[in-house]
Every structure is written in structure tokens, then in C-alpha cells.
Structure 1
Amino acid sequence: MATSVVVVGGGTAAAQPDGNRYVSLGDSFTSGPNYDPFGGCPQLPYAWPKQFAAQWGLGNDWFDASCSGAVVDGRGTNTFGQQIDAASRSMGSRTELVTIQFAGNESYGGSGRSAAWSVGLCVLDFVNGCDNAADPTSVRPDAITSAELQRRLTAGDSGNIIGRIRQEAPNARIAIVGYPTVLPSDTSVCLPINGLEVPDFQPRAAYARTVLDRIEVAQRQAAAALGVEFWSLRQATAGHDACQPLGQRWITRIGDFHEELLPFHPTRTGYGAQANALTAYRTR
């Protein structure tokens, strides 16, 4: 039977009758934070799924449905429901692995902002900082729970994502992929201003770290409860957060004009490091 070409956003894959060996679902930390005003999902040519698939030696025998801004709960042009619909054409008995990188774009506890926006805005607000707990539009860290992530993956607006993967790719490993180390371990965040380094631009960033830590814990616990794998990137990217010197940091920030990415996302080197770490998980 002749193969066909499936296109989602910037990705292409030769769809096999019994599925592709690997399928990727994810947000901008997977696809790269490209934006298409016409509703497409452009993917960076060096985003980690492409490097990961190359290290695996898959050729075109894989499919990447990831999209910047994707959410599980919520309506819009970029949803995991749309991703799983597109990926279903590439899942089958041959599929060996499906990865899911999500949780940062979700809103929790009735907040008006996503976790990602809440973190970004508090870091950049040098007046109120991250201590403005009275802001009702920001995500409450205690609302980011394992139970909530489980619900979203099985009964959220995007449907039963885990159930569909198990049904359509019965032989595949399923792995929830965590996020890399974005901020330093202390409570401050650096920022370049007019070309000068300000190491403690935001000395009250404990809230931002707490949100990111809660996401990691919730992902790990949800994966265990759902009977899928959790592939953490924290240890593999430790010491390379956004406040490290140029050449050592693997996360972009405002002022990194040498990178064609939005702030607080992986650099080219960072995507490569993530691919290496995920290859280690796959082969163990």
C-alpha cells in the first residue's frame, strides 16, 4: 500500500498503514514558540522532537503534532484535542512511543491567566513582583494538582487523550515529558537592562518557582496514577537556567537577540540537550 503525507503545522510524516513508530504531542516547549496569525502550527527545525527522532534513526517514520500555545482544557485554535485527532492517523500497532509535553499553558483554579503567563508577568513586574497574592487572575499554585492533570488528560475539553492513545496505539509506551530548568534555585530572577546584567532584577520570584515546581510534581504524580511514564528534564538541564551566562544558559530571556525565540523557552543548545536526555529515557 502506498504511503501518504500528513501535514500539521510545520511537520510532515509518511503515514504508515499500521502507524508511525513515534508520535509527539506538545506545546511551545515541544514545537518551539513560533506563531502563525493564520492559525497554523509552525515548528522549529531544531526543536527537540526532530533531534530526538534523528537520534533514534527514524527517518520519516514519526509524526509531530505539537503546537505553540496548545491547551488541553479550553477552546481555541491550538488544542490537544486537535493534536490527537491529527495524530490518530499516525498511530497504530507499529507505534512504539507517544510523548506528551503539557501543563504550562493551562489555567488552574478559576484564574484568568495560564500558568505560563502568570509566571512571566510576575517576573517582569518589578513593582509588585511575585508577592501580589491578591491578584485573582493569576494561577494559584495549590490549584496545580495531580488530580487536575489526570482529569484533563482523561476527561477534559480535549477528551480522553490517554484512552485514545491506548486504543489507537496499543503497543506504545506513553510518556509525559516535563519541562527543563527555567529559573535559578534561589528566589531572584536576572534580566539584562540596556545591555547591563541585573542579577536580582526580580528578587521576589518565589511564586514563579513554586508554580513551576508544582507543575513538575503534578506531572510526575499524574503519570504514576495513569500508569504512564514520566520523563523529567530538570536534572539534565540543571545549572543552565535563564540566569546563567551566555553560552551556559539553555533558556532564553529578554534581550537574547541572537536567539529567534520568545523569552523563557529553550535555546538551540537547550533543545539539543533535551533530545539527548529523552533519548537516554527511551533507551534505558
Structure 2
Amino acid sequence: MSTLAVAGLSVGGQGIAGAQPGDQAGARYVSLGDSFTSGPSYDPLGGCPQLPYTWPKQFAQQWGLGGDWFDASCSGAVVDGRGTNTFGQQIQAAAGAMGPRTELVTIQFAGNETYGGAGRSAAWSVGTCVLDFVNGCNDAADPAAVRPDAITGPELARRLTAGDSGDIIGRIRSQAPNARIAIVGYPTVLPRDTSVCLPINGLEVPDFQPRAAYARLVLDRIESAQRAAAASLGVDFWSLKGATAGHDACQPLGQRWITRIGDFHEHVLPFHPTQDGYGAQARALTGYRAG
């Protein structure tokens, strides 16, 4: 797992999509998110390009929305943090697309955030740890790495209501008063054990990093914090873990829904959903919407 890859919960992009902002009645669906939503891409000029088969696009198609939706998701986006690619900017971009007609707003976030005074994001911390062959990845040797115990529901709830991006939940409720709001979790990225695989020179190395307990812990803490934050804020939490279990990055080609180094047939960075993976997530979220 490369640092760039896991920063894959991290790398740069701007919302495009069906409905255009400007109609005060709003689009029926609005998506906010990071690179797991938009697809990992980078525009040095500050735009947010999106892949054509991401889960919001497939989800909107399965819903039958036509062009009646808007996707403001952006690779590398953070809630707490300033500069480019923030959820505050996404809310601003989507403001004209939210209105009384809006039925659903989804938010996928947390991997790009720093926690516990760390200088690194969660994604960066996991990536550098996995590549630490000397110390392993049962604990993060980097003193600037994220502390797993700092990833909590109350902290994520605070960021969504009083973080650097302002009161995201409050703005959604104000601008789209009839909308269901759902925090969307991340898919299953790593296997259930504490090893991480990687191909080297075309050969499979199943225990490339056999000491990866920290990586698993950070990802698990993010999921549990998202769930707790959603409960405290009175919004839905839509987990993708169950729907994507058994399709992590260490599964064989054709079975894995998460890319890894060497998957050149996919148009995304390692440790992001494959095209099939995005489709599976869209189907799972369609089930939540109908539920």
C-alpha cells in the first residue's frame, strides 16, 4: 500500500453532475464527499475532476434521476482544514442545488482529516505506516501520525457542525429542509487479518506488511466514529462494509473491488474502489434509500 495510494482516502478534484445550481427548488439528490466519492484525480489548477462511473453517478442512474441531481464531491476534501478542497467549498458549490425539492444529501468524509494534534491525515498516517518495514505497522512510529483514540463520534459531529467548514449539517437542513441526510461510510479496503498484500515485480506477496494492526484500527475507528456521529446528529449512517466484505484489495483480480499498485487496467490510484466496486456501492446505497 503506497502512501500516495492510501492518501487515496485523499488526492484532489470539483463537482460536476446532472442538475445545475440556480433552481431555488433544488435538485432531488446532492452528493458531498472526498476521493472515495469523486474518484481520485488531481487538477493543478484547482478543479475537481470526477470519474465517469463513481457511485453517486451510478446511484443516481439506478434511482432514475436523469439530470435531477448534483455532485459537489472533490478528491482530497477535508472538513477541518483550510485552502483548496474543503467541504465548506462543496456546500457553497451545491447551495443552488439544494432546496425544498431535495430528497437526499449524502456526505462521505473522514479519511483526509487529522486527529489528536497529528500533523498527518488519517490516510497519510495509514499509508506511511504500512510501508514501514523496520517498525511494522502494529503501531505508528511517525510521531505526527494520527492517534486512533482521537477518532471519535463526538469529534466528527463537532467537525460537521462547528469545524473549519462551518455548520455543514445546519446549512443542509436550512437549504434543503425536506432532505434526508446520510453519512456514507467507506468500503472494505483491507482484509480482516492484520497483514497487507502487495504485488512486487508481478509476484503476489500476501504478507507484504504482516504487522498492520494500526492500519486496520484507524479504518475501523473511522467507521465507528461515522456511525456515532450520525446518531448524535440525527442523520442516517449508511455503512458499506458488509456489502463490500470479501472484496478488499488483497483478493484476486476480478474479485477485489479495491485497487492496488499494479492494477493498471483501472483509471484510479491504488486503494480506491474499482469500477465494479463503485457499482457495488451504488447498489448497496440504493438499498438504503429504499429502506
* Both structures adopt the same fold (TM-score exceeding 0.5): yes
Aligned to 2:239: 232
Alignment of 1:249 with 2:256, yes or no, is yes
Alignment of 1:267 with 2:274, yes or no, is yes
Q: Residues 11 and 42 of structure 1 are in contact (CA less than 8 Å); yes or no, is this contact kept in structure 2? A: no
Q: Which moved more, 1:16-25 or 1:228-237?
A: 16-25
Q: By how many angstroms is 1:12 displaced?
A: 4.7
Whole-angstrom distance in 2 between the partners of 1:18 and 1:10: 19
Q: By how many angstroms is 1:53 displaced?
A: 0.3
Q: By how many angstroms is 1:260 displaced?
A: 1.3
Alignment of 1:111 with 2:118, yes or no, is yes
Whole-angstrom distance in 1 between the partners of 2:88 and 2:47: 15
1:44-123 paired onto structure 2 within 5 Å? 44-123=51-130
Q: Which moved more, 1:92-101 or 1:131-140?
A: 131-140
Whole-angstrom distance in 1 between the partners of 2:99 and 2:258: 35
Whole-angstrom distance in 2 between the partners of 1:10 and 1:85: 14
TM-score for the superposition, normalised by structure 1: 0.95
Q: By how many angstroms is 1:131 displaced?
A: 3.5
Aligned to 1:216: 223
Whole-angstrom distance in 2 between the partners of 1:17 and 1:118: 41
Whole-angstrom distance in 2 between the partners of 1:54 and 1:191: 34
Whole-angstrom distance in 2 between the partners of 1:38 and 1:185: 39
Aligned to 1:129: 136
Whole-angstrom distance in 2 between the partners of 1:266 and 1:123: 19
Whole-angstrom distance in 1 between the partners of 2:41 and 2:231: 32
Aligned to 1:152: 159
Q: By how many angstroms is 1:120 displaced?
A: 1.3
Aligned to 1:11: 17
Q: By how many angstroms is 1:130 displaced?
A: 1.1
Aligned to 1:163: 170
Identical-pair percentage: 82
Counterpart code for 2:27:
N
Aligned to 1:24: 31
C-alpha distance after superposition, 1:60-109 (max 9, x if no partner)? 11000000000000112100000001111100000000000000000001
Whole-angstrom distance in 2 between the partners of 1:234 and 1:277: 10
Whole-angstrom distance in 1 between the partners of 2:173 and 2:17: 23
Q: What is the RMSD of the two structures over their aligned residues, measured on CA atoms?
A: 1.0
Counterpart code for 2:232:
A
- SS of 1:23's equivalent in the other structure is strand
Q: Residues 76 and 85 of structure 2 are in contact (CA less than 8 Å); yes or no, is this contact kept in structure 1? A: yes
Q: Residues 126 and 201 of structure 1 are in contact (CA less than 8 Å); yes or no, is this contact kept in structure 2? A: no
Tell me the matched-pair count.
277
Q: Residues 129 and 141 of structure 2 are in contact (CA less than 8 Å); yes or no, is this contact kept in structure 1? A: no
TM-score for the superposition, normalised by structure 2: 0.93
Q: By how many angstroms is 1:11 displaced?
A: 3.3
- SS of 2:204's equivalent in the other structure is strand
